[in-house]
Chain A
């Protein structure tokens, strides 16, 4: 066990310690929990990255046998590669930021012990998934991640909508998990092992089937078409939780799995992934442009960005996708935390009045009132839009280059549309929330420092020129050692498209929001409706199949069993029991016979004695 492995093991245990502290500390000292937890997590994030400065390409694996079934054994261990360590560092850093932010955000809430406990567990589950060397262990943590997100989305138990959203998220991701499990089993049967290091592509048609099944799991987890509906609904949870789900833990798990497994996928699977990625990215962008809830805009934007990553993975561009995942973690967490600050501040300002503070039409003019949050949000939004000098720009260029190399016109067209659509919706949100003259006369105070700090740190993480060394290389790409020459034409076109998009957004910023309501009802809801219709239809088909064949065969089987049981019972009663009864009956009869002689009457004794004597005499004489 080398030093790096020990460090990773410690960082894996830190969130558990944090959760343990949260669950065990008394309510009186509740304020201590998040401070201790966030400091620990921050230390862990640095500790994970630290060995990277010395040896960036360190790749190690440490595993212990855990259980064996037949010839195959499952080991539990820690995988240390540049990818896992970068991912772990980001997870820990974002988690620490969320913890710090939650100190301010959850200050007046109840049940903070449960909240911080599950935050810690959530982080632990994600780290376990990242470090895992075996796909079975990965699956266990995968499920744990789903469970923790379920508990955190439903944290506000007074809101029925939150509980419903949590259930929806849990069930929809479960649909995907079934696919994931089937994919794992296929891989197991084909490979005889689930060790990440030894997994190879299974032969023949199974390879495509296994890849697709695993991809279904990712679709559920990362909220891709057609299982994306749970993510906007999950906005019912506390905002810091949304930041964690969107940036580092829940939806990132799917992309991370794909980054590790894409090498074993077949071209067919990759094409399906590309198609799903494009559809999700476009639908997410459209959704983000149409809704008016500040958190839902960000949620749809996440769907869009994840679709963008899946698209890149489908083209085999793992580095671009992974880099984008890391950058996305920073700026999306920053956006969510800034949005949380806005919601928090607006709540404080509006007090108990019936104003929906999450509706961007009710916001406005926050630039003056919340300058720090404004700047943080602006930087993160620029990163999302892919404006130069931000992290989003770098990873976007990587993916665009990969698309360009494929040289397929419809692929390029759809990607340009995605690139065009992203600044459109984020600028709209930005305009409504911060720049537009205020429609209200409230005095909004800036969020407390404890909430401003994480936003600032995450915004700094989204600026790349601080880390940039040379053309188009960020910290992450340095560690991953990728040298991709981006054609100048791509840079020019992408800049032009982004500029055009920003211009369009600025010109159409005051577009009546009433039309968007109309579009929501006619576009998104109808898509959902068709999805629901389709699933109900498929459900009814499977139900009929169930009733007709499965139920019937089960009934027949059950009847057969009952019949057999009756026959066996009859045999038992009449044959086995009969023998025993016969023996006892014989014994009793014999006993009665012998006992009847000794009936306690002197005269009969005498009679028998006499008879005996007579028989004896007769026998002696003759």
Chain B
């Protein structure tokens, strides 16, 4: 919901992180009910990817902010046809 409703790109990124964390939680919890370590390993991978994603995402947001003086995606509309 945060991803859809928030205006600021940072908050959208935050929402994505939250979704990933929720998925991790699910992975860890459901791993308990069956044998093996697949779920926990997968959660570790997700954390790893989430870190990378957060780093890249924040970097992009920073660059966008530098260029447009704004971190709101709706205002970044160069490609859109102006009416």
Chain A contact residues, CB within 8 Å of chain B:
599-603, 606-607, 610
Question: Min CB distance, A366 to chain B, in Å?
Answer: 104
Closest 4 CB pairs of A and B: A600-B80, A602-B73, A600-B77, A603-B4
* B3 adjacent to A606 (CB under 8 Å): yes
Once the chains are docked, how many angstroms separate the CA of A482 from the CA of B5? 126
Question: Min CB distance, A612 to chain B, in Å?
Answer: 14
* B12 adjacent to A603 (CB under 8 Å): yes
Question: Min CB distance, A5 to chain B, in Å?
Answer: 84
Q: A601-B74, A603-B4 are in contact. List 8 more A-B contacts (CB 8 A).
A: A600-B79, A601-B73, A602-B73, A603-B12, A603-B73, A603-B74, A606-B3, A610-B4
CB neighbors of A among B1-35 (8 A): 3-5, 12
Q: What is the number of contacts between chain A and chain B, taking CB atoms within 8 Å?
A: 17
Where chain B touches its partner, the secondary structure class is helix
* A607 adjacent to B4 (CB under 8 Å): yes
Question: Min CB distance, B14 to chain A, in Å?
Answer: 14
Q: Which residue of B lies closest to A610 (CB)?
A: B4
CB neighbors of A among B53-83 (8 A): 73-74, 77, 79-80
* B79 adjacent to A603 (CB under 8 Å): no
* B80 adjacent to A603 (CB under 8 Å): no
Chain A contacts of B12 at CB under 8 A? 603
Q: Which residue of B lies closest to A600 (CB)?
A: B80
Chain B contacts of A599 at CB under 8 A? 80
Chain B contacts of A603 at CB under 8 A? 3-5, 12, 73-74
Chain A contacts of B80 at CB under 8 A? 599-600
* B77 adjacent to A606 (CB under 8 Å): no
Most buried by B among A599, A601, A603, A607: A603
17 A/B residue pairs, CB under 8 Å, sorted by A: A599-B80, A600-B77, A600-B79, A600-B80, A601-B73, A601-B74, A602-B73, A603-B3, A603-B4, A603-B5, A603-B12, A603-B73, A603-B74, A606-B3, A606-B4, A607-B4, A610-B4
Interface string of B31-56 (1 = CB under 8 A from A): 00000000000000000000000000
Once the chains are docked, how many angstroms separate the CA of A603 from the CA of B13? 12
Chain B contacts of A606 at CB under 8 A? 3-4
Question: Min CB distance, B82 to chain A, in Å?
Answer: 10
Once the chains are docked, how many angstroms separate the CA of A7 from the CA of B39? 125
Question: Min CB distance, B19 to chain A, in Å?
Answer: 12
Once the chains are docked, how many angstroms separate the CA of A84 from the CA of B45? 124
Question: Min CB distance, A440 to chain B, in Å?
Answer: 103
Question: Min CB distance, B28 to chain A, in Å?
Answer: 24
